[in-house]
């Protein structure tokens, strides 16, 4: 009986890990990103290394608004890690968790002068194929969260 329970537990963990590995698949592609009716920028999200890495290249419409993420899959943990970097020295390091309809990354944002803040980003797939991204920050160690950015990703036509 003990061996059977261990086998079932291993199957469940394997299924969860496989679910995590494909959790960002819906976001892969070329996107135009809007907050409200305003175009904020363009995002290119690409898989590489047999799906174990994903790169994100953000280019905002405002001069200097750019950044890049590397997401890498950690099979031993069954989760993703994100590292986001900008040319002005701001960066983020976050860990993934599955949420209904998507994935959430929670961790720290680091300012160029060393200031840190709790940061989380939730990506969810909408029924119409768009993706909603909500970026939140917490100033009280994650007890409460404030929305800093709420955007819709629409597939680029060109």
Cβ neighbors of 104 (< 8 A, separation 6 or more) are 96, 97, 98, 120, 121, 122, 123
- With 90 as the cut, is the pLDDT of residue 138 above it? yes
Q: What is the pLDDT of residue 10?
A: 40
- With 60 as the cut, is the pLDDT of residue 11 above it? no
More confident residue, 151 or 8: 151
Q: What is the pLDDT of residue 1?
A: 61
Class of the domain covering 2-155: mainly beta
pLDDT band at 157; cut points 50, 70, 90: confident
Residue whose tokens read 């900008």: 86
* CA dist 89 → 62, 66, 71 (Å): 17, 11, 18
Q: By percentage, how much of the chain surpasses pLDDT 70?
A: 87
Please report, for the chain, the start and end positions of each structural domain, with discontinuous segments joined by +: 2-155
The string of pLDDT tens digits covering residues 95-115 is 999 999 999 999 999 998 889
- With 90 as the cut, is the pLDDT of residue 54 above it? yes
More confident residue, 149 or 19: 149
Average pLDDT over residues 55-69: 96
């Amino acid at each position: 009986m003990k061996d059977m329970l261990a086998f079932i537990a291993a199957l469940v963990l394997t299924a969860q890990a496989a679910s995590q590995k494909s959790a960002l698949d819906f976001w892969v592609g070329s996107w135009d990103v809007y907050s409200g009716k305003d175009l904020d920028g363009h995002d290119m999200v690409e898989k590489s290394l047999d799906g174990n890495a994903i790169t994100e290249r953000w280019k905002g419409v405002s001069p200097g608004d750019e950044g890049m993420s590397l997401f890498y899959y950690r099979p031993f943990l069954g989760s993703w890690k994100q590292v986001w970097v900008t040319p002005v020295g701001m960066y983020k390091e976050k860990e993934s968790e599955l949420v209904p309809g998507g994935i959430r990354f929670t961790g720290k944002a680091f300012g160029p002068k060393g200031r840190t803040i709790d940061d989380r980003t939730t990506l969810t797939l909408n029924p119409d194929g768009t993706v909603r991204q909500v970026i939140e920050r917490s100033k009280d160690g994650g007890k409460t969260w404030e929305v800093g950015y709420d955007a819709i990703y629409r597939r680029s036509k060109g």
